[in-house]
C-alpha cells in the first residue's frame, strides 16, 4: 500500500520532469493547464500499437503506463515507467504507421534510461537548473501547476547549453533505436520519415527556424536528414497500413476533434454531406457538446445500427443519455458496451453510474457489482471507488461504503482522510475477511510517523459485525458529473 502512494507522487513528478526533457515539440503556452484524459477506445488503440514495440525494445509492456494528455499540440514524452501522448499527436498523424514511429521513438528513450542519464547530465551542468526542475515538479505534485511551471524556468539560463547538447544526443539515439524496433517487427519506417518531413515543412512555412542550440530536440530538417538513409534502406519501407487500420485511426481522430475542437469547426470539417463513420462520430460528439441531444443521438444511433458489435459507439450513446439526465435510458447502451468489452474498467464504471442514478434497490445492488468489478480491473481508479462507496451507502452497507471511501481517498492522495475512513469502517467488518485486511492495510500505510492513535477495535475473530438493514427507498445524491476524470483520481 505504501508503494501505491509513492507511485502516485512519482507519477506527478515524472510528468513534470519528462515533459520538459523529452517533449517532441516545445512546451506550449497552455502547458500550465494541461490535464489527463481517460478514454477506453483511444487507450486500447495506443496499447495495441505500443505493446509489440515495447517488447521489441526489451521492455515489459505491463510495467509502462500510457497517459493521454489533453493538448492539441503535437507532442509525446517518456520517462520512468510512463509514456505520455498528446491528443494533438494522434490528430496530426496521417497513418497508424506514423503513430508507431512516435511510440518507437519514445520506447527508445525508455530503453536507453534517458531519464536517469538526463538527471546525471543536469547534475554535472548546474545546481540551479536541478533546483528549478525539482521545485517545479514538487509544486505541480502539490497541486500548484502554475507555480510549478514558473519554477521550472528558474534555472534555464544557467549552464543550459551543456544539457541541451546532451538532450539532442539522446534524441538522435532514440530516433535510431526506433528504426531498429520497427525493423524487428517488420514494420515500415516510412511513417516516421513522412512525419518528420511534414514537421520540417511546417517549420519552414511558419518560419520556426529557432537556433538549434536553444532547443532540446533537433530541428525536424536535421532529424530527417539523419534518419533518411537508414530508414529508406529498410526492407519494410514500402509496407503500408491496411485499410482497416487507417479506418480505426480516422474514427479516433473524429472522436478527438468532436470532443476537443470548437463544434462549429467540427461541422465545417465533417459536413452533413459526409456520411462516413468518422463524420457521424465527430458530429455526434459535437452536437452533444452543443446541447443538441436529439441530433447527437441520431448520429450515434446511425453508427450503432451500422456496427452493432462496436462497443465504443454504444458507450458514447450511454454517455450522452447519462450526461443529459436520462440515466435509465443510458443503462441499455452501457450494458451493451460492457457485454462487448467486459474487461474494460471504464465501461463498467459508466454502467454502474447509470444503474446507480436510475434508483431502485435492484439497480443499486447491480451497480455495486459492476463498480466492484471495475475496481478489480483498475485497483487505483479512485473515481470507481468513490462511485462504489455511493452504491454501498445507498444499499445500506455502511461499513463497505466507508471502506470504499477510504480507498478513494487513498488513491486520491488524501492519506489522513483515508486513515480516518478506514478506521470507521473496521469495526463493521468481519475480522479476517479481505475487506477487513484491506482496511487494516490502509490504516497501517497511512499512519502518521509521530503520535499515531491506537488501532480501532474490531469484531472478535469468528464473529460477524451486525448486518445493516437496507434502505427501502434509497435516493441518489446529486453528484455533478466530471467532464474530465483527472489522473490524480486514479
For the chain, domain boundaries? 2-232
The overall average pLDDT reported for the chain is 77
Q: What is the mean predicted confidence (pLDDT) over 401-429?
A: 94
Q: pLDDT by residue (tens digit) across 16-37?
A: 333 333 333 333 333 344 578 8
What pLDDT is recorded for position 477? Answer: 38
Q: How far apart are CA 16 and CA 113, in angstroms?
A: 17
What pLDDT is recorded for position 218? Answer: 55
Q: How far apart are CA 352 and CA 337, in angstroms?
A: 12
What pLDDT is recorded for position 203? Answer: 56
Any idea of the CA torsion for 246, 247, 248, 253, to the nearest 10 degrees? 90
Q: What is the mean predicted confidence (pLDDT) over 265-284?
A: 97
- pLDDT tops 60 at residue 485: no
What pLDDT is recorded for position 148? Answer: 38
Q: pLDDT by residue (tens digit) across 356-370?
A: 999 999 999 999 999
Sequence-distant (6+) residues with CB within 8 A of 283 are 258, 266, 267, 270, 272, 295, 299
Assigned C-alpha cell, 246: 487507417
More confident residue, 171 or 304: 304
What pLDDT is recorded for position 451? Answer: 62
- pLDDT tops 90 at residue 194: no
- pLDDT tops 80 at residue 352: yes
Q: pLDDT by residue (tens digit) across 61-92?
A: 999 988 888 888 888 877 777 888 889 999 99
Highest-confidence segment of 77-81, 144-148, 428-432 = 428-432
What pLDDT is recorded for position 377? Answer: 96
- pLDDT tops 80 at residue 244: yes
CA 377 to chain centre: 15
- Cα angle vertex 188, ends 185, 193, to 5°? 135
Q: How far apart are CA 63 and CA 7, in angstroms?
A: 12
- Determine what percent of the chain is predicted with pLDDT higher than 70: 68
What pLDDT is recorded for position 368? Answer: 97
What pLDDT is recorded for position 75? Answer: 80
- pLDDT tops 60 at residue 242: yes
pTM: 0.76
In sequence order, the β-bridge partners of residue 78 are 83
Q: What is the mean predicted confidence (pLDDT) over 30-52?
A: 82
In sequence order, the β-bridge partners of residue 84 are 67, 77
Q: What is the mean predicted confidence (pLDDT) over 385-403?
A: 96
Which range has the worst mean pLDDT, 237-241, 456-460, 480-484? 480-484
**Grid cell 447502451 in the structure block, residue:** 333
More confident residue, 448 or 299: 299
Would you place residue 221 in the very low, low, confident or very high pLDDT band (cuts 50, 70, 90)?
low
More confident residue, 59 or 195: 59
Question: Would you call 65 helix, strand, or coil by DSSP?
Answer: strand
In sequence order, the β-bridge partners of residue 65 are 82
Burial class (CB in 10 A: 0-12, 13-18, 19+), 30: exposed
Q: What is the mean predicted confidence (pLDDT) over 394-402?
A: 96
Q: 289: closest CA among 326, 252, 319, 248?
A: 319
More confident residue, 63 or 474: 63
Is 192:174 a contact under the CB 8 Å cutoff?
Answer: no
Q: pLDDT by residue (tens digit) across 245-261?
A: 999 999 999 999 999 99
**Grid cell 529498410 in the structure block, residue:** 234
Amino acid at each position: 500500500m505504501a508503494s501505491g502512494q509513492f507511485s502516485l507522487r512519482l507519477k506527478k513528478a515524472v510528468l513534470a520532469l519528462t515533459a520538459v526533457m523529452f517533449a517532441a515539440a516545445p512546451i506550449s503556452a497552455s502547458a500550465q493547464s494541461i490535464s489527463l484524459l481517460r478514454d477506453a477506445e483511444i487507450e486500447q488503440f495506443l496499447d495495441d500499437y505500443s505493446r509489440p514495440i515495447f517488447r521489441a525494445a526489451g521492455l515489459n509492456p505491463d510495467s509502462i503506463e500510457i497517459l493521454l494528455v489533453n493538448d492539441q499540440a503535437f507532442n509525446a514524452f517518456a520517462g520512468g515507467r510512463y509514456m505520455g501522448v498528446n491528443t494533438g499527436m494522434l490528430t496530426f498523424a496521417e497513418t497508424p504507421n506514423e503513430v508507431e514511429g512516435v511510440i518507437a521513438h519514445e520506447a527508445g528513450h525508455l530503453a536507453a534510461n534517458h531519464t536517469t542519464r538526463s538527471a546525471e547530465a543536469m547534475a554535472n551542468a548546474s545546481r540551479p537548473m536541478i533546483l528549478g526542475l525539482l521545485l517545479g515538479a514538487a509544486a505541480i505534485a502539490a497541486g500548484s501547476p502554475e507555480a510549478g511551471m514558473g519554477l521550472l524556468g528558474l534555472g534555464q539560463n544557467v549552464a543550459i547549453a551543456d544539457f541541451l547538447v546532451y538532450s539532442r544526443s539522446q534524441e538522435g539515439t532514440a530516433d535510431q533505436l526506433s528504426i531498429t524496433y520497427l525493423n524487428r517487427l517488420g514494420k515500415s519506417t516510412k511513417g516516421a520519415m513522412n512525419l518528420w518531413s511534414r514537421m520540417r515543412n511546417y517549420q519552414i512555412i511558419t518560419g520556426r527556424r529557432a537556433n538549434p542550440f536553444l532547443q532540446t530536440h533537433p530541428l525536424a530538417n536535421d532529424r530527417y536528414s539523419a534518419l533518411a538513409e537508414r530508414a529508406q534502406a529498410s526492407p519494410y519501407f514500402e509496407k503500408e497500413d491496411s485499410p482497416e487500420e487507417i479506418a480505426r485511426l480516422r474514427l479516433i481522430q473524429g472522436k478527438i476533434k468532436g470532443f476537443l475542437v470548437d463544434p462549429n469547426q467540427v461541422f465545417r470539417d465533417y459536413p452533413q454531406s459526409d456520411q462516413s463513420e468518422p463524420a457521424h462520430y465527430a458530429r455526434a460528439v459535437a452536437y452533444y457538446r452543443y446541447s443538441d441531444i436529439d441530433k447527437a443521438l441520431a448520429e450515434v444511433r446511425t453508427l450503432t445500427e451500422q456496427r452493432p458489435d462496436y462497443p465504443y459507439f454504444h458507450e458514447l450513446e450511454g454517455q450522452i443519455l447519462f450526461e443529459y439526465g436520462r440515466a435509465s435510458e443510458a443503462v441499455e447502451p452501457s450494458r451493451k458496451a460492457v457485454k462487448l468489452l467486459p474487461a474494460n474498467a471504464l465501461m463498467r464504471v459508466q454502467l454502474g453510474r447509470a444503474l446507480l442514478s436510475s434508483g431502485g434497490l435492484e439497480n443499486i445492488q447491480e451497480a455495486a457489482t459492476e463498480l466492484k468489478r471495475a475496481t478489480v480491473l483498475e485497483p487505483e481508479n479512485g473515481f470507481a471507488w468513490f462511485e462504489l462507496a455511493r452504491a454501498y451507502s445507498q444499499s445500506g452497507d455502511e461499513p463497505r461504503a466507508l471502506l470504499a471511501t477510504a480507498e478513494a481517498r487513498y488513491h486520491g492522495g488524501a492519506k489522513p482522510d483515508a486513515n480516518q475512513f478506514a478506521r470507521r469502517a473496521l469495526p463493521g467488518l468481519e475480522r479476517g475477511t479481505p475487506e477487513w485486511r484491506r482496511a487494516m492495510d490502509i490504516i497501517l500505510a497511512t499512519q502518521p510517523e509521530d503520535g499515531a492513535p491506537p488501532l480501532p477495535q474490531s469484531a472478535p475473530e469468528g464473529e460477524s459485525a451486525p448486518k445493516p438493514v437496507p434502505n427501502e427507498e434509497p435516493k441518489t445524491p446529486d453528484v455533478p458529473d466530471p467532464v474530465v476524470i483527472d489522473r490524480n483520481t486514479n
